Amino acid sequence: MGKKAVEFIFFGNYFVGALAVALSVESAFQLQLHFNSVYYYLLLFFGTVMYYTYAYSGILSTTTSVNPRTVWYARHHTFIRYSQPILLIICIALSLVLISRYYQNILHLPLKYWLIVAVVSLAAIFYYGLSFLKINLRNTGWLKAFIIGFVWACCVNLLPLVILQIERGNYYADPVLMSWLFLKNWMFCTVNAIMFDLKDYEDDSNQQLKTFVVRYGLKKTIFFVLTPLLLIGLISLLFFANFRHFKLIVLLFNLTPFILMLAVAWTMLRHKNILYYLIVIDGLLLVKAFCGIAGSQFIH
């Protein structure tokens, strides 16, 4: 029973939905802004689950794959077939609630916020591809991880600001801190995506998808891609902390996720099962959110 529950939460992408909400809440704490409404957080949760599940919704029960995640989707293909439309209905209902409550604010939303919505929407759509334009960001090889990181940074750092403008009107967010948090999330989520690509090494290689691990192999990816990126992030954080005069405890909370990710990266020299990637690697994003929230309590 316990194993089935774990597989449902992690294979079914419900944990990923929770991560999107947690990172958005972290951003609000760090920027010292009001939270978005519960309707938006629910929309973000269910929308993320539906979006990530879409890639597996076409898997049939007749699959011969040995990938545990693919096998799980094949075994539960009937549930996925019905749950996706239900999730879509929930997302539409939540969107209508937000529109009905704030339609006047939406109509008068400044252009810069519409640009943010457009960038996030286009990146999200192109990630799965538009057949008539022959654009699919998933097939961009080594760029794939940076694009995934960019979409996540937009969704958890910029999109909440758009919704906040809609729900509460004008607000003030420190532009320097906001830019730093966006770049930090972009880098952190990019490294997370590269680490996650390690599980797809064989499939990506067969599809001639030139991800970092396909190009350079497991060891070189860890030594010459993941480690340098994380060290750059650590050094950048130290410089920024000095620039903004962070208290030691704030710095330590913000350093913790980078140190843990570096440690986890080095454990991946040996192949791990897919639940390890889903629980431990994605779990680092949850640790980052908790550390960011905890550290923000000591800023003032």
Residues 45-68 have a mean pLDDT of 81
Distance CA 34, CA 167 (A): 10
Q: Give residue-wise pLDDT tens across range 65-92.
A: 677 788 888 888 889 999 999 999 999 9
**Residue 174 is encoded by which pair of tokens?**
């420190």
The angle formed by the CA atoms of residues 9, 10 and 13, to the nearest 5 degrees, is 85
HEC-encoded secondary structure of the chain: CHHHHHHHHHHCCHHHHHHHHHHHHHHHHHHCCCCCCHHHHHHHHHHHHHHHHHHHCCCCCCCCCCCHHHHHHHHCHHHHHHHHHHHHHHHHHHHHHHHHHHHHHHHCCCHHHHHHHHHHHHHHHHHHCECCCCECHHHCCCHHHHHHHHHHHHHHHHHHHHHHHHHHCCCCCCHHHHHHHHHHHHHHHHHHHHHHHHHHHHHHHHCCCCCHHHHHCHHHHHHHHHHHHHHHHHHHHHHHHHHCCCCHHHHHHHHHHHHHHHHHHHHCCCCCCHHHHHHHHHHHHHHHHHHHHHHHCCCC
290, pLDDT greater than 50: yes
**Residue 244 is encoded by which pair of tokens?**
């903004």
132, pLDDT greater than 60: no
Q: Give residue-wise pLDDT tens across range 185-195.
A: 999 999 888 88
105, pLDDT greater than 50: yes
Mean pLDDT over each residue of the chain, to the nearest integer = 85
pLDDT at 201: 55
Distance CA 16, CA 18 (A): 5
Q: Give residue-wise pLDDT tens across range 163-204.
A: 999 998 888 889 999 999 999 999 999 988 888 777 655 554
pLDDT at 172: 85
The residue among 158, 184, 149, 210 whose CA lies nearest residue 295 is 184
pLDDT at 202: 53
pLDDT at 25: 97
Lowest mean pLDDT among 19-28, 117-126, 140-149, 282-291: 140-149
Residue 194 Cα distances to 187, 199, 202, 274, angstroms:
11, 10, 14, 14
**Residue 68 is encoded by which pair of tokens?**
């545990």
Q: 77-107 and 159-168 helices cross at what angle (nearest 10)?
A: 50
Lowest mean pLDDT among 29-38, 66-75, 237-246: 66-75
Residues 277-299 have a mean pLDDT of 91
pLDDT at 6: 87
pTM equals 0.90
